[in-house]
Structures are given as structure tokens and as C-alpha cells.
């Protein structure tokens, strides 16, 4: 099954928030919106971008984008193998396992390939 | 003399054998259960598990063991914090019935200190909201007026502490989700420094902003809880390995007055606050701090009006990534009757997420998408650097910043639900601490004309929670705003004798 690919969008200055844009973003986000939801989302996204556009007024292109708080020690733990979650426990909350053999030890999903 | 119902007084009485943990837990379960139909503060009340745990503590005490500084203290835990075997949903239908295979580090630490989890509290789905109306289960209500919201997203935790269902609760704060409900419910709430408290086991919303912290009735109980949960955790790579002060002991040893404490008043926070009642209460609180010996001066945080826009871009971008994991494969809701995996994922997500969560995923996906990343996400990250710099510069001149927590008191259910931007606006004074990564406390400082609580926000330098707590503690020793209780709590409070 070929997965639909969203059209790339390139020019921020030309952004028009319309149904087509909302539908592309919904596809990327793996959300299926109803007609009503798409309409409401189009209006909402337009208003949010209007709000966010005000950041241009205070933006300093010379500033470094935030990457995390400096000034504190945040050591990584030793890279040593440790026991992980047992398979049975990892599967305990898994959907779609009704009827699967108890010792299968795998998640089940609908067809990935046609 | 500590309030009989404070966490530290409960722990003292349990440790000294004046009361049993079982009787304490029973009394609080009774109160939580009685308030639940009216307030909806809990997603579940874990009566059986709590009673079993109390029994274990009493047995340990009978053997002469000391369960710890939180012995027998009931605690309510926001339902986006994992509790092993106890259903954890983040108030989302997509996680209905999810029983985590592990507990969050904060829960393990509280239990190791003797605390007893009595239930999970209601929230805006995944922490996305400021009223708890976005809960996928049911809204929570404000104990001061049931027609009004308790704030959010940790509205259930704030309401539970407000009515005495538990002296302590845990919340999480991404843009104000501990401080704003604390303000609207008239309790004390602390958002620690980013990295002070482990996020392991917290269901992620926006990982660079999220932080777990306590709700309590006063600064000392908040300090007691912080002492139990703070400190480095190897299971959270953002957790800081910085020394942890004994906050409660420091408060108890501190002088009653605030001589030498330098308080900064960000003029933008008062200027942008249009509610006269809120402004008057904050100004009166500042006068009290001055009377207590603190020096007060005006400071400026000119980027304050841009905080919400910056926060919305960054938090939704991170949310869109964090919430990608809810796809119906490994756990959580899976849509029925789909033909292939992409359809299954899209249908599961569309059925499982509520409207606000979808709005945020959409904005976040958009700002991260090819072509828009630089114009929106990167710009917001630059502005975030400027906000952090501006906040730390103000905190170079003073020890703490003081202002209103929320520009408004508790609003009516439905009032801000139809226009999400009016909901986002109530976070105007709280998002700054998350964007800058600094600690902040909200504490009650008065009431408006309707008797609704008003919150004072006290912000401190990174890892200087103690400065904010000291200011609040001194304020609470000089005033009794924090002791004011809604009629609902009084009416439901069991007689003292029934505990012992």
C-alpha cells in the first residue's frame, strides 16, 4: 500500500491557512478530521499564527535558539546493560491480542503490506 | 503550632503512635469520596490499595520501624503520573484502562518516605488546558463555587487539597498547571526548577517545560513534599545532579522576618493584570512583605506579553512529537475494523484524543513541518533564549520576583471553552517560569468580591526553591489567607476524634 505523501511547503511568507494546508498537516499528524473539525481547525490555526507572528517584533536573529538549561550538571548514567521490562508485562496493555497464542510474545497490528 | 490536618502533623502523630495510619487514611478516603460527586476531583479513589498500604505501615510501626518523614500521609497524584498497577489515563480516552508496569520516581520516593497514594486526580487531557474542562472523563469543579473551574491542568489535585481530601497532592506544570489551579483554589503550589524533580514516569506533554511539583496547604508542607521528591535520578537524563537543600528544616530554622530579602516586582505583571481585586490583593501582599523587612523594587520583564505565543509554539511542537506514540499499537485505545496499519493509527488517534489535544498536535505538527520550521519553531526558540536571559537578569538584581499568579480568579465552567485563545490568556504570568526553567510558588494572598481566592506568585533563581518558599512561609506566618477554607471543606470535615 503506498502511503500518501504531503506536499512540501517552502515559503513561510506565503502561508495561507486553508483546508488544503490543514488536511496536509492532519495527514502528517495521523489525525482524521471530520469536515466540521477541519473547518474549525482552519480558523483556529489562522488565529494562532496571527498570535505567533508577533514574535517577529521581538526576535533577535543573532540570539541562539534555546537548546536546554545551562548551568546544572546533568550526568548520563553508565552505559551498562540492565534488565528491561519482561515481555509479558510489556504486552499486558496491548490491544488486539484476543485469541493470540499466550506465548507468541509479540504485538499484533493490521496488515502493514498488501 | 501546626494545623492538625497538615502533612507534617499527621506524620508526627503517626510516627509517635498517637494515631494509626489506617485511621488517617480512612478519614481522608471518606472526605475524598464525599466530595467526589460534587467536585469530580479524582479519576479514581484507590481505597483498597490505600487501606492495604496503611495496614503495612501500621504493622511496620508495631515492629518498631519508622516509615519515614511522610508516615501515613495521604497523597493524591495527578493522573498523568504513573502508578504501578493503578490505572493511569492522563484523563484521555486514548489511555482508558492503562495500567502502568512501573511507578514514577516521584511516587516511589513518596512511598519510600511513608506516604500513601489515595487516588489519582483529574486534569485537562495530557495537561493541555487551564480549567480541567478538557478532561476526557468529566470536568472538575472549584470547591469555592461549584459553578466555577478549579483551574488546570492540575485542577483535581488543587481541589483535593482545598477540601482536605489529602494534605498533599502532586501535579505537573508545563505552563502554569500547578500554580494557576493553586491560585484559583486557594492552596499553595510549587513548580520546581527544571531538572530539580525527576520526570521519569510522568506522561510527557512538553519535555523541555514539564516539571512535577507539590500542592499543599502551606509552604512548610510543600517543603516537606519537595524534600521527598527532589534530587537526581539516573532514569531522567534531564534530571540535575545538584545538591538538594533540606527545605523544611531550613524554613523551620529561618527567622520570622525577611530582612535582607530583595523582592522584585515586574511592572508588566501588574500592568497587564486588568482585575482590580487581583491587583489590590497582590499590592497588599507586597506591603506585608515590606512590613516583614524585605526590600521591594520594581523590575522589568518586557517580553512578558510574548510569553504565550512563544510557549504555544514550543509546547505544541514537543507535544506533537511526544503524542506520536499513541498509535494504537503497544497500549491504549485501538480503533476497530480498520483495514491497514495507517488507517488503524489515524482512526485510533482521532477517536482517542479530545478537541484541545488535536488542536495542539496540529499546531505543533505545522510549526515543525518542512518549510515552516525556521519561521516558527526556531524563532520561538530564539525568543525563549531571550526570555530566559531576561528572567535571569532580573533575578540577578533581586532574590525573588513577586506578582499575580493568574490575571483572573476562578471563572465559570464554559466561559472560556468556546474560544481557546481566551483560555490560553490566563497563563500570561506563569509560562515565563517554564520557558526560563526557574522555580515558582503560588500561595493564597486574598479573595475577590465573590470570596474567590487570589494567588501570589513568587519566582526564584534556579535551584533556589528555598527563597520562594521562605517568602511564602514568612507571609503565611504573618497572615491567614492560606488558612481560609471553603464551606464545602468545613461541612465535610470529619470530627477530629474519628481519626484516632
Cis peptide before B217 (omega within 30 of 0): no
The pLDDT of residue B244 is 95
- Residue A7 pLDDT level (bands cut at 50, 70, 90): low
CATH number of the domain that residue B422 is part of: 3.90.1300.10
Quote the ipTM score.
0.93
A72 pLDDT band, cuts 50/70/90, is confident
Residues 461-500, chain B: which have Cβ within 8 Å of A?
462-463
Residues 213-242 of B with CB under 8 A from A: 232, 234-235, 237-242
Cα dist from A22 to A18, B366, B498, whole Å: 6, 9, 59
- All residues of chain A having their beta carbon less than 8 Å from the beta carbon of residue B331 are 93-95
Residue A3: inside a domain: no
Is A55 close to B313, i.e. CB distance below 8 A?
yes
Count of structural domains, chain A: 1
Q: Does the CB of B85 have a partner CB in chain A at under 8 Å?
A: no
User: Within a domain: residue B82?
Assistant: yes
A54–B308 CB contact, under 8 Å: no
8 Å CB contact of B365 and A25: yes
Q: What is the pLDDT of residues B179-226, one digit of tens each?
A: 999 999 999 999 999 999 999 999 999 999 999 999 999 999 999 999
Is the pLDDT at A3 greater than 50? The verdict is: no
Do the domain assignments include residue B391? yes
Annotated active-site residue B385? The verdict is: no
Reported as a pLDDT band with limits 50, 70 and 90, residue A111 is confident
**Residue B346 domain-assigned (yes or no):** no
Total domains in chain B come to: 1
DSSP B376: I
Is B96 in the A-facing interface, judged by CB distances under 8 Å? no
Q: Does B371 touch chain A (CB under 8 A)?
A: yes
Active site residue B177: yes
pLDDT at B491: 53
Check pLDDT > 70 for residue A10: no
How confident is residue A76, by pLDDT bands cut at 50, 70 and 90?
confident
- Residue A100's pLDDT band, with cuts at 50, 70 and 90, is confident
> Would A93 be classed as within a structural domain?
no
The larger pLDDT score, comparing residue A10 to residue B211, is at B211
Domain CATH for A36 = 1.10.20.60
Q: What is the mean pLDDT of each run of 10 residues along chain B (500 residues)?
A: 79 98 98 97 98 98 98 98 97 97 98 98 98 98 98 98 98 98 98 98 98 98 98 95 96 97 97 95 98 98 98 98 97 95 96 98 96 94 98 98 98 96 97 98 98 98 98 98 87 38
In a domain, A46, yes or no: yes
To the query of whether residue B346 is one of the catalytic residues in this protein, the response is no
Query: Is position B357 within any domain?
Result: no
Of B82, B126, B87, which is closest to residue B102 (Cα–Cα)? B82
Helix B155-162, helix B21-39: angle, nearest 10 = 120
Q: In this predicted structure, what is the pLDDT of residue B499?
A: 32
**B436 lies in which domain range?**
7-244+252-306+382-499
What is the DSSP secondary-structure string of B385-440? HHHHHHHHHHHHH-SEEEEES-SS-PPBTTTTTS-HHHHHGGGTTTHHHHHHT--E
Nearest to B359 among A6, A10, A41 (CB): A41
Q: Do the domain assignments include residue A27?
A: yes
Q: Is B311 a domain residue?
A: no
Q: How confident is the model at residue A14 (pLDDT cuts 50, 70, 90)?
A: low
Cell of A1: 500500500
How many percent of chain A have pLDDT more than 90?
Answer: 62
Closest chain B residue to A112, measured at CA: B341
Q: How many helices (H) and strands (E) does chain B have?
A: 19, 11
Chain B (401-460) residues lying within 8 Å, Cβ to Cβ, of chain A = 420-421, 437
- The answer to the question of residue B344 being in a domain is no
Residues in chain A: 114
Is there a domain that residue A38 lies in?
yes
Strand partners, B264: B297, B401
Range of the structural domain that residue A48 is part of: 13-55
Amino acid at each position: 500500500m503506498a502511503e500518501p505523501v504531503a506536499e512540501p511547503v517552502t515559503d513561510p511568507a506565503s502561508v495561507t491557512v486553508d483546508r488544503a494546508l490543514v488536511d496536509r498537516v492532519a495527514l502528517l499528524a495521523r489525525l482524521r478530521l471530520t469536515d466540521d473539525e477541519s473547518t474549525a481547525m482552519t480558523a483556529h490555526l489562522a488565529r494562532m499564527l496571527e498570535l505567533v507572528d508577533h514574535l517577529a517584533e521581538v526576535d533577535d536573529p543573532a540570539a541562539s535558539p534555546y537548546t536546554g538549561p545551562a548551568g546544572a550538571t546533568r550526568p548520563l548514567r553508565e552505559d551498562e546493560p540492565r534488565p528491561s521490562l519482561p515481555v509479558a508485562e510489556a504486552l499486558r496493555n496491548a490491544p488486539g491480542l484476543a485469541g493470540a497464542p499466550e506465548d507468541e510474545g509479540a504485538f499484533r497490528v493490521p496488515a502493514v503490506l498488501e | 503550632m501546626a494545623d492538625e490536618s497538615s502533612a507534617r502533623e499527621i506524620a508526627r502523630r503517626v510516627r509517635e503512635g498517637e494515631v494509626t495510619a489506617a485511621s488517617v487514611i480512612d478519614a481522608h478516603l471518606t472526605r475524598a469520596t464525599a466530595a467526589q460527586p460534587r467536585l469530580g476531583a479524582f479519576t479514581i479513589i484507590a481505597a483498597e490499595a490505600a487501606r492495604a498500604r496503611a495496614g503495612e505501615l501500621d504493622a511496620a510501626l508495631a515492629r518498631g520501624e519508622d516509615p519515614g518523614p511522610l508516615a501515613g500521609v495521604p497523597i493524591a497524584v495527578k493522573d498523568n503520573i504513573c502508578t504501578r498497577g493503578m490505572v493511569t489515563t492522563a484523563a484521555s480516552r486514548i489511555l482508558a484502562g492503562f495500567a502502568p508496569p512501573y511507578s514514577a520516581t516521584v511516587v516511589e520516593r513518596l512511598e519510600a518516605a511513608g506516604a500513601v497514594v489515595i487516588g489519582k486526580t483529574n486534569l485537562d487531557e495530557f495537561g493541555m488546558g487551564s480549567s480541567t474542562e478538557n478532561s476526557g472523563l468529566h470536568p472538575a469543579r472549584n470547591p469555592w463555587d461549584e459553578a466555577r473551574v478549579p483551574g488546570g491542568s492540575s485542577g483535581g489535585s488543587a481541589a483535593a487539597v482545598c477540601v482536605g481530601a489529602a494534605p498533599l497532592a502532586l501535579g505537573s506544570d508545563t505552563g502554569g498547571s500547578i500554580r494557576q489551579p493553586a491560585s484559583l483554589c486557594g492552596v499553595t503550589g510549587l513548580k520546581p526548577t527544571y531538572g530539580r524533580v525527576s520526570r521519569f514516569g510522568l506522561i510527557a506533554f512538553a519535555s523541555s517545560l514539564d516539571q512535577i511539583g507539590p500542592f499543599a496547604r502551606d509552604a512548610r508542607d510543600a517543603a516537606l513534599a519537595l524534600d521527598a521528591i527532589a534530587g537526581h535520578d539516573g532514569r531522567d537524563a534531564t534530571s540535575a545532579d545538584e545538591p538538594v537543600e533540606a527545605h523544611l528544616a531550613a524554613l523551620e530554622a529561618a527567622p520570622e522576618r525577611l530582612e535582607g530579602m530583595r523582592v522584585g516586582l515586574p511592572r508588566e505583571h501588574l500592568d497587564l493584570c486588568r482585575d482590580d481585586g487581583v491587583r489590590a490583593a497582590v499590592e497588599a501582599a507586597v506591603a506585608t512583605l515590606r512590613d516583614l523587612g524585605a526590600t521591594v523594587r520594581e523590575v522589568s520583564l518586557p517580553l512578558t506579553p510574548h510569553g504565550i505565543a512563544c510557549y504555544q509554539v514550543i509546547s505544541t511542537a514537543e507535544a506533537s512529537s511526544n503524542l506520536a506514540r499513541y498509535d494504537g499499537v503497544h497500549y491504549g485505545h485501538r480503533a476497530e475494523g480498520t483495514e491497514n496499519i495507517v488507517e488503524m493509527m489515524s482512526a485510533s488517534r482521532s477517536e482517542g484524543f479530545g478537541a484541545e489535544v488535536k488542536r495542539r498536535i496540529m499546531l505543533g505538527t505545522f510549526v515543525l513541518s518542512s518549510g515552516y520550521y525556521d519561521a516558527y519553531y526556531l524563532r520561538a526558540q530564539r525568543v525563549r533564549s531571550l526570555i530566559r536571559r531576561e528572567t535571569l537578569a532580573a533575578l540577578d538584581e533581586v532574590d525573588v520576583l513577586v506578582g499575580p499568579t493568574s490575571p483572573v480568579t476562578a471563572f465559570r465552567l464554559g466561559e472560556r471553552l468556546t474560544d481557546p485563545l481566551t483560555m490560553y490568556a490566563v497563563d500570561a504570568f506563569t509560562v515565563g517560569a517554564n520557558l526560563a526553567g526557574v522555580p515558582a510558588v503560588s500561595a493564597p494572598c486574598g479573595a475577590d468580591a465573590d470570596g474567590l481566592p487570589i494567588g501570589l506568585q513568587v519566582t526564584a533563581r534556579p535551584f533556589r526553591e528555598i527563597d520562594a518558599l521562605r517568602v511564602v512561609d514568612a507571609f503565611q506566618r504573618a497572615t491567614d489567607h492560606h488558612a481560609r477554607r471553603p464551606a464545602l471543606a468545613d461541612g465535610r470535615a470529619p470530627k477530629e476524634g474519628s481519626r484516632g
